Amino acid sequence: MQKKIDEIEKSIDDAVKDVQSSKTLQEIKMRFLGKTGEISSLMKNLRDVPPEERPSVGKLLNALRQWTEEKFAAIETRIKDFELKKKYADEKIDVTLPGRVAGDGAYHPNTLIRDELISVFAGMGFEVFEGPEIENDYYNFTALNTPADHPARDMQDTFYLAKDLLLRTQTSAGQIRVMENKKPPIKILSPGKVYRSDDDATHSPMFSQMEGLVVDKGITLCDLKGMLDEFARKIFGDGVKTRLRPSYFPFTEPSVEVDVSCFECGGKGCRLCKGTGWIEVLGAGMVNRRVLEGCGIDPDIYTGFAFGMGIERIAMLKFGINNMKLLFEGDVRFLKQFKG
Ligand code: PHE
């Protein structure tokens, strides 16, 4: 038996002599100590040894097993240590390599104008309300005094998602949601995206609007005019005036188109104002009494005005952007030119 043990010890020594990786070491370990390994088999054969020799042979085998286990443990520690060092060496990072510089982004002109409008109107006591972009027919049209057969529906080519579900064509839809839920005095500003099935050099199927709504006792068209004058001065510069022209919207009566005096030529006439001295900037009017009634507000007690403007249009005018498509490309070289 001692001879056999010496042999095994020698073959273990041979086997582990050049071992480099823990994987090979594990394989060798299995060969001797695994369930069917050489040492385990010897242990199993112990029952064939004559009973009087069993204790001494058993002792030898146990010593062998312990010797083997310790040997493997020692080699394993050495290999693990070596492998870790190698891993660190391989993963070494060269901290002297210059970093990649991430370019700065920039605020979109729409964002700049939206924030500026909010700050101007917040200064006049308006609160911001954001309505949903997916609306139903009632909020986008019917409640705005635009029933199904109303010709004004043709003014706004609508994207329908389902029979009664659409992408809002105007932020005016939010007016109804506010008036249904809040009693006057109401003074809200409602920015957001709107959608119309329209796509050419000057129209995009998605654009942004800023809506305003004021409802209280004794509100008149003069209040609208006064507020618009303040808006025009703050956004386009001191000395800019406004003028109202008659217009039509189903949900306002009377309705007006609002022009500002040309801030480029001071009203003398130039290319920007096409020689007229005036630039159209928004639609507005006194809230139609039918709209108030539909929201449970008594039109004999309360009156109000509403206005709505295209944010892209204001941005183009204010920043002198001559091509609307630039606002939809997100090219940072373009965006970086504008500051609020
Ligand atoms: N909703 C109108 C449009 O999109 C603008 C508007 C808003 C007009 C509020 C009057 C009052 O054209």
CA of 285 to the centre of ligand 1 (A): 8
In short, whether 231's Cβ falls inside 6 Å of ligand 1 is no
CA 276 to mean position of chain CA atoms: 42
Q: How confident is the model at residue 53 (pLDDT cuts 50, 70, 90)?
A: confident
Cα distance between residue 297 and residue 286, in whole Å: 14
Q: What is the pLDDT of residues 57-84, one digit of tens each?
A: 888 888 888 988 888 888 899 888 988 9
* Residue whose CA lies nearest to ligand 1 atom number 3: 170
* Residue whose CA lies nearest to ligand 1 atom number 5: 308
pLDDT above 90 coverage of the chain, percent: 64
CB atoms within 10 A of CB 78: 12
* Residue whose CA lies nearest to ligand 1 atom number 9: 307
Q: What is the pLDDT of residues 265-292, one digit of tens each?
A: 999 999 999 999 999 999 999 999 999 9
CA of 239 to the centre of ligand 1 (A): 26
pLDDT of res. 340: 72
Q: How confident is the model at residue 93 (pLDDT cuts 50, 70, 90)?
A: confident
Contact by Cβ (8 Å): 32, 12: yes
CA of 167 to the centre of ligand 1 (A): 16
DSSP summary character for residue 203? B
Contact by Cβ (8 Å): 279, 260: yes
Cα distance between residue 233 and residue 197, in whole Å: 34
pLDDT of res. 12: 86
In short, whether 252's Cβ falls inside 6 Å of ligand 1 is yes
Residue with tokens 């095994």: 8
pTM: 0.72
Alpha-helix residue ranges (DSSP H) falling in the chain:
2-16, 22-33, 38-44, 54-90, 109-122, 137-140, 172-181, 221-236, 289-294, 311-319, 332-335
In short, whether 174's Cβ falls inside 6 Å of ligand 1 is no
* Residue whose CA lies nearest to ligand 1 atom number 4: 170
pLDDT of res. 262: 96
CA of 230 to the centre of ligand 1 (A): 19
Q: What is the pLDDT of residues 316-332, one digit of tens each?
A: 999 999 999 999 999 99
In short, whether 145's Cβ falls inside 6 Å of ligand 1 is no
Q: How confident is the model at residue 153 (pLDDT cuts 50, 70, 90)?
A: confident
In short, whether 146's Cβ falls inside 6 Å of ligand 1 is no
In short, whether 175's Cβ falls inside 6 Å of ligand 1 is no
* Residue whose CA lies nearest to ligand 1 atom number 10: 284
How many CA atoms within 13 Å lie on the side-chain side of 136?
5
Cα distance between residue 14 and residue 7, in whole Å: 10
In short, whether 307's Cβ falls inside 6 Å of ligand 1 is yes
Cα distance between residue 112 and residue 210, in whole Å: 13
122-155 b/e with 16+ CB inside 10 Å = b? Answer: eeeebeebebeeebbbebbbebbbbeeeeeebee
pLDDT of res. 235: 96
Contact by Cβ (8 Å): 201, 324: yes
In short, whether 195's Cβ falls inside 6 Å of ligand 1 is no
pLDDT (average), residues 122-138: 96
Taking each helix axis from N to C end, the angle separating 221-236 and 109-122, rounded to the nearest 10 degrees, works out to 130
DSSP summary character for residue 157? -
Q: How confident is the model at residue 207 (pLDDT cuts 50, 70, 90)?
A: very high
Tokens of residue 259, six digits? 């022009």
pLDDT of res. 227: 97
Q: How confident is the model at residue 191 (pLDDT cuts 50, 70, 90)?
A: very high
Tokens of residue 28, six digits? 């060798």
Pocket residue to mutate for ligand 1, from 170, 215, 224, most atoms within 8 A of Cβ: 170
* Residue whose CA lies nearest to ligand 1 atom number 6: 308
